[in-house]
Amino acid sequence: MNAYAKKKDLLLAGLRAAPTERTVGLTKQTSNLFRERAPRAAPRIDLSHFNAVLRVDAAAGTVEAEGMTTYVDLVDATLARGAMPAVVPQLKSITLGGAVAGVGIEATSFRQGLVHDTVLALDVLTGDGRILACTADNEHRDLFRAFPNAYGTLGYALKVTARTIPVKRFVHVEHRRFGDAVRCFAEVARLCATADADFLDGVAFAPEEMYLCVGRFVDAAPHASDYTYEKIYYRSLRERADDYLAARDYLWRWDTDWFWCSKNVGAQHPLVRRLLGRKRLNSITYQKIMRWNARVGLGVLWNRLRGVHAESVIQDVDIPIGRAAEFLAFLHREVGILPVWICPIRAPAPGAGAALYPLPAGTVSINFGFWDVVNSRAPQAPGTCNRRIEREVRALGGIKSLYSDSYFTPEEFWAIYGRDAYLAVKRKYDPEGRLPDLYAKCVLRQ
């Protein structure tokens, strides 16, 4: 805690010594954003040293950590004390601050909500250069409520206090197969209502082939599967009716193959896996390869040679459970990306949710994650498929995450993402606009 206090003092002193009139941005080594942006000139602010876990109180069910702490470090620190963060996003390099500023989700979300629903307190470096302690009921509750989904445009999280839950050594996962979406989502609704599991997510491999993965902590296991090297987790859902994983391996089960997206860099071939080695089979490696490809334009060139027009469709959208089957049918019919990741989310009580990411209170929403490229022979206007998805999501009363490409008009965008709350908080904590505007950042990629 002393070291944290010193870091804060140094940060404030540095900001006072080198004031800037211009918009600032964050320096980071890794990112889970999927929006290409033109490289921006300085000034950038480096908070990467705010990366320590400060306190784990498993008995009280809380963890306090600096904003740039990665989840891989946070999980190790909490598991060592018999606990885990109440929601652990699936990718190891996601940071605690990033998951609160964006929208973090996982298989505990059907009981715990989104990452930001598990946050008890935030220290925020605001656009006007203050560091404020914010909670749901103190004088900065407006900033606390508007911080999730603001993507760093209201300030940067320097410290986060979040809830933890107790763990056991292993997770037993049942893979329940469903031949149609209506019955599958009816079972999701039942499991959410009874909270009769510790983890719940699923995958649609085809319109008639869906699996719900129902996980429960257990103290002992007859065996523990290893999906960190030669075996591939997502394939196991179709191959076996149930499975056991060590708790840590369960939490990172999707990271080794970036769900299934490692296929795009050839990493599912046994030989390539061996060449890469266990240590490099993870989302951080694949991100580096994808960013390198985006820089050198290899994919673009390959598509041009094949005469293909490719649109990147990398989206996570949340749909009220009553319309989930309808949305999935739309996705199969109009988009065609498979597999699709499915994860239910319990919405917080009315008035308690994030101001900029409203989910319908009192109901479960289903997160659909689909990440691929949609090809066409005929040229299409940029974002044609993404635009269609945005319209459908809105028509069904859903909302989409803003970590990748968005094509909303300003009117559409602000009708969805809490315009009034955002503007009021922006005026109060960043009156000179040192941090970018949310629409400009997420849609205009500025």
Neighbours of 409 (CB within 10 A): 10
Rounded Cα–Cα distance for residues 48 and 38 (Å): 22
Residue 109 in the binding site for ligand FAD (CB under 6 A): no
Say whether residue 234 binds ligand FAD (CB under 6 A): no
Closest listed residue to residue 124, CA positions, set 166, 155, 86: 155
Min CB(114)–ligand FAD separation in Å = 8
Is 215 one of the binding residues for ligand FAD (CB under 6 A)?
Answer: no
Q: Does 398 bind ligand FAD (CB under 6 A)?
A: no
What's the CA gap between 326 and 181, in Å, rounded? 9
Q: Which H or E element spans position 236?
A: helix 233-239
- Regarding 399 and contact with ligand FAD (CB under 6 A), the answer is no
The SS3 of residue 170 is strand
Q: Considering beta carbons, is residue 245 or 333 the nearer one to ligand FAD?
A: 245
Q: Does 107 engage in binding with ligand FAD (CB under 6 A)?
A: no
Cβ(51)–Cβ(73) under 8 Å? yes
Taking CB under 6 A as the rule, does residue 344 contact ligand FAD?
no
Q: How far is the CB of 289 from ligand FAD (least distance, A)?
A: 13
In angstroms, give the least distance from the CB of 422 to ligand FAD.
14
347 binds ligand FAD (CB under 6 A): no
Q: Which two tokens stand for residue 401?
A: 């995450």
Per-residue binding string, ligand FAD, 288-327, x by CB under 6 A, is --------------------------x-------------
Give the contacts of 357 (CB within 8 A, at least 6 positions apart): 103, 114, 116, 148, 149, 399, 417, 418
* Binds ligand FAD by CB under 6 A, chosen from 62, 95, 112, 386: 95
Rounded Cα–Cα distance for residues 71 and 93 (Å): 6
If one asks whether residue 233 binds ligand FAD (CB under 6 A), the answer comes out as no
Please, what is the minimum distance in Å from the beta carbon of residue 429 to ligand FAD? Answer: 13
Residues 126, 122: Cα–Cα separation, whole Å: 12
3-class SS of residue 436: coil
Asked if residues 173 and 199 have their Cβ atoms less than 8 Å apart, the reply is: yes
Binding residue (CB under 6 A) for ligand FAD from 28, 163, 248, 388: 28
- Options 126-134, 152-160, 161-169, 175-183: segment touching ligand FAD (CB under 6 A): 152-160
What are residue 57's DSSP bridge partners? 62
Please identify which residue in 89, 215, 339, 353 interacts with ligand FAD, judged by CB under 6 A.
89
Per-residue exposure over 201-232, b if at least 16 CB sit within 10 Å of its own CB, e if not: bbbbbeeebbbbbbbebeeebeeebebbeeeb
CB of 278 to ligand FAD, least distance (A): 22
Which position among 403, 408, 429, 439 is part of the footprint of ligand FAD (CB under 6 A)?
403
Task: Compute CA distances 9 → 13, 15, 31, 54, 161, whole Å.
Answer: 6, 10, 27, 17, 20
For residue 370, the minimal CB distance to ligand FAD (Å) is: 10
Rank residues 94 and 354 by Cβ distance to ligand FAD and give the closer one. 94
Interacting residue with ligand FAD among 75, 83, 84, 94 (CB under 6 A): 94
Among 157, 389, 425, 438, binds ligand FAD (CB under 6 A): 157
Residues near ligand FAD (CB under 6 A):
26, 28, 31-34, 67-68, 89-91, 93-95, 97-99, 101-102, 104-105, 151-152, 156-157, 314, 371, 403
